[in-house]
């Protein structure tokens, strides 16, 4: 790990935290876009259908989504 | 990975691992909510060149679909053990995983998310997993509760917690 050896000033520390939060928000926005595409895919719907069947074999009844 | 045993033996929902870069798991509940549990690579947490860069993941737990008439998921006793089972599954594949859970504050519900996650963590095997909680505050004054979760037997546990606290104190790395 690359850590600085000299103590950071409070302003430097805060700037680093702000950079981290900014990067995190950017990454979450990207992930959100990927998520929207994923859950709409036919493969995703097929996976959910298969999970409903598997749960049913164990007595867990999950209703079909209403269209 | 599907659980074929009875509900009595295995009190959680069946889940599926969709994989991908983000290591997506999915399960759905009797209350008609679809959840995703995601381990998204987060190499920038301690710096891209950190020793741990390849094993750090942001943990995202979200309602992916709400097929019910309810606005929010009601209590469901099977959700927490399912999330715990997913954790166990992922860490079996990648035992050195460091998961960071950051509570989204965009709707001011970060403390509710933190409390819910803490309740879910109660179902994790305490002999197997350990969690360190803290929070970071941006210059707007918004506070983000964060948790770091790793295996108890992670050989770098102390160094990772130290690096995490250092990050919390000031995200102290060279960019």
- Domain residue ranges in chain B: 6-173
B82-101 residues touching A, CB cutoff 8 A: none
Is pLDDT of B173 > 70? no
Mean pLDDT of chain B: 88
Q: What was the pLDDT predicted at B75?
A: 93
Band of the pLDDT at A67, cuts 50, 70, 90?
low
Tell me the chain A residues in contact with residue B45 when contact means C-beta distances shorter than 8 Å: 20
* Average confidence (pLDDT) over B57-69: 94
Band of the pLDDT at A14, cuts 50, 70, 90?
confident
Q: What was the pLDDT predicted at A65?
A: 83
- ipTM over 0.90 threshold: no
Q: What was the pLDDT predicted at B3?
A: 47
Q: How far is CA B33 from CA A16, A64, B57, in A?
A: 37, 11, 24
Q: What was the pLDDT predicted at B9?
A: 64
Q: What was the pLDDT predicted at B50?
A: 85
* Average confidence (pLDDT) over B34-50: 90
CATH class name, domain B6-173: alpha beta
Tell me the chain B residues in contact with residue A14 when contact means C-beta distances shorter than 8 Å: 138-139, 170
According to DSSP, residue B137 is labeled: E
Q: Over pLDDT 90: what percentage of chain A?
A: 61
Q: Positive or negative CA dihedral for A48, B35, B22, B119?
A: negative
Q: What was the pLDDT predicted at B155?
A: 96
pLDDT digits (tens, 9 = 90+) for B108-165: 898 999 999 999 999 888 889 999 999 988 899 999 999 999 999 999 999 999 888 8
Phi-psi region of B60 (alpha: psi -120 to 50; beta: other; left: phi over 0): beta
Sheet holding B143-151, edge to edge: B16-19, B24-28, B33-41, B56-66, B98-102, B143-151, B129-137
Is pLDDT of B170 > 50? yes
Mark yes or no for CB contact A63/B32 under 8 Å: yes
């Amino acid at each position: 790990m690359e850590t600085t050896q000299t103590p950071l000033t409070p302003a430097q520390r805060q700037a680093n935290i702000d950079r981290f939060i900014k990067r995190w928000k950017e990454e979450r926005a990207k992930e959100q876009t990927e998520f929207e595409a994923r859950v709409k895919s036919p493969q995703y719907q097929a996976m959910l259908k298969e999970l409903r069947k598997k749960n049913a074999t164990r007595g867990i009844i999950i209703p079909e989504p209403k269209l | 990975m599907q659980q074929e045993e009875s509900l009595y033996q295995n009190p959680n929902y069946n889940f599926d691992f969709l994989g991908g870069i983000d290591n997506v798991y999915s399960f759905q509940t009797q209350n008609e909510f679809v959840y995703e549990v995601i381990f998204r690579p987060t190499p920038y947490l301690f710096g891209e060149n950190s020793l741990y860069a390849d094993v750090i993941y942001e943990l995202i737990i979200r309602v992916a679909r709400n097929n019910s008439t309810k606005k929010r998921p009601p209590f469901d006793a099977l959700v927490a053990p399912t999330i715990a089972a997913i954790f166990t599954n992922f860490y079996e594949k990648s035992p050195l995983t460091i998961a960071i859970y950051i509570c989204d504050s965009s709707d001011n519900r970060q403390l509710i998310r933190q409390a819910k996650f803490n309740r879910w963590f109660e179902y994790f095997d305490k002999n197997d997993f350990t969690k360190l909680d803290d929070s970071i505050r941006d210059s707007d004054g918004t506070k983000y509760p964060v948790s770091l979760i790793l295996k108890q037997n992670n050989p770098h546990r102390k160094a990772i917690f130290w690096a995490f606290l250092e990050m919390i104190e000031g995200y102290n790395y060279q960019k």
